[in-house]
Amino acid sequence: SRNVKDDLRWVECVQRIRDAQDRAAFAEIFRHFAPRVKAFLMKSGTDAGMAEECAQDVMATLWHKSHLFDPARASVSTWVFTIARNRRIDMLRKQRRPEPDELTWGPEPEPEAADVMELQQESARLAEALAELPEKQRDLVQKAFFGDLSHSEIAAETGLPLGTIKSRIRLALERLRHAMK
């Protein structure tokens, strides 16, 4: 259902928005992600009007924060998911969402192409692994992300296939730390 070529294409779109305020690149990424953000919100119980408002806001945030996206640490889907999640908490639960500090002070060095490629590949592999989970377990994970499961209902042992992507992200973080020294 998903391939690395798509993921790399979205990365390129975000970089073109960042470097050239490229509206065509934005329209392309919008056509793919905006409906998914809206569907995601509606699936977690938001009415259509609020989901539209929220989806527009998420996509506008993608434009404004394009310089903060690091393709060696996340796929574009993951990044958009985190923006949508935070907006949902802001707008619907009317709560602040305490966030960890960002890792760096100034502009980050452009990540190495090989690191970007590896991270995007791992993300695609994770998607495949999730698709192959036993239905019961996959259902549970979905429920957690669509807000149907509170933290106390989530079992301590999730058994999610996260092994490789965890170490990829850890490597990216280490590299970033070394670059800052």
Partner 1 sequence: MDQIKHHLNDQLLLSYAAGNLPEAFNLVVATHITMCDECRARLGAFEAVGGVMLQDAVPASANQLPEVDLDATMARIERGSKDEIRVAAKSGELPAALHDYIGGSLADVKWRSVGMGVRQAILPTSKDASVRLLYIPAGTKVPDHGHRGMELTLVLQGAFRDEHDRFGPGDIEIATEEDEHTPIAEMDVDCICLSATDAPLKFNGLLQRIAQPFLRI
**108-147: contacts with partner 1 (CB under 8 A):** 123, 126-127, 130, 141-142, 144-147
- The residue from 5, 96, 136, 181 that contacts partner 1 (CB under 8 A) is 96
Binding to partner 1, residues 26-55 (CB under 8 A): 27, 30-31, 33-40, 42-43, 48, 51-52, 55
Minimum CB distance to partner 1 smaller for 99 or for 135:
99
Q: What is the DSSP string of 5-44?
A: HHHHHHHHHHHHHHHH--HHHHHHHHHHHHHHHHHHHHHT
Minimum CB distance to partner 1 smaller for 110 or for 142:
142
What are residue 170's phi and psi, to 5 degrees? -60, -45
- The residue from 136, 156, 178, 181 that contacts partner 1 (CB under 8 A) is 156
Q: How far is the CB of 100 from partner 1 (least distance, A)?
A: 4
Q: How far is the CB of 81 from partner 1 (least distance, A)?
A: 4
| 16: contact with partner 1 by CB under 8 A | no
| 81: contact with partner 1 by CB under 8 A | yes
Q: How far is the CB of 7 from partner 1 (least distance, A)?
A: 10
CA distance 43 to 35: 12
CA distance 43 to 28: 23
CA distance 173 to 81: 20
| 20: contact with partner 1 by CB under 8 A | no
- Coil vs helix vs strand at 156: coil
CA distance 112 to 84: 27
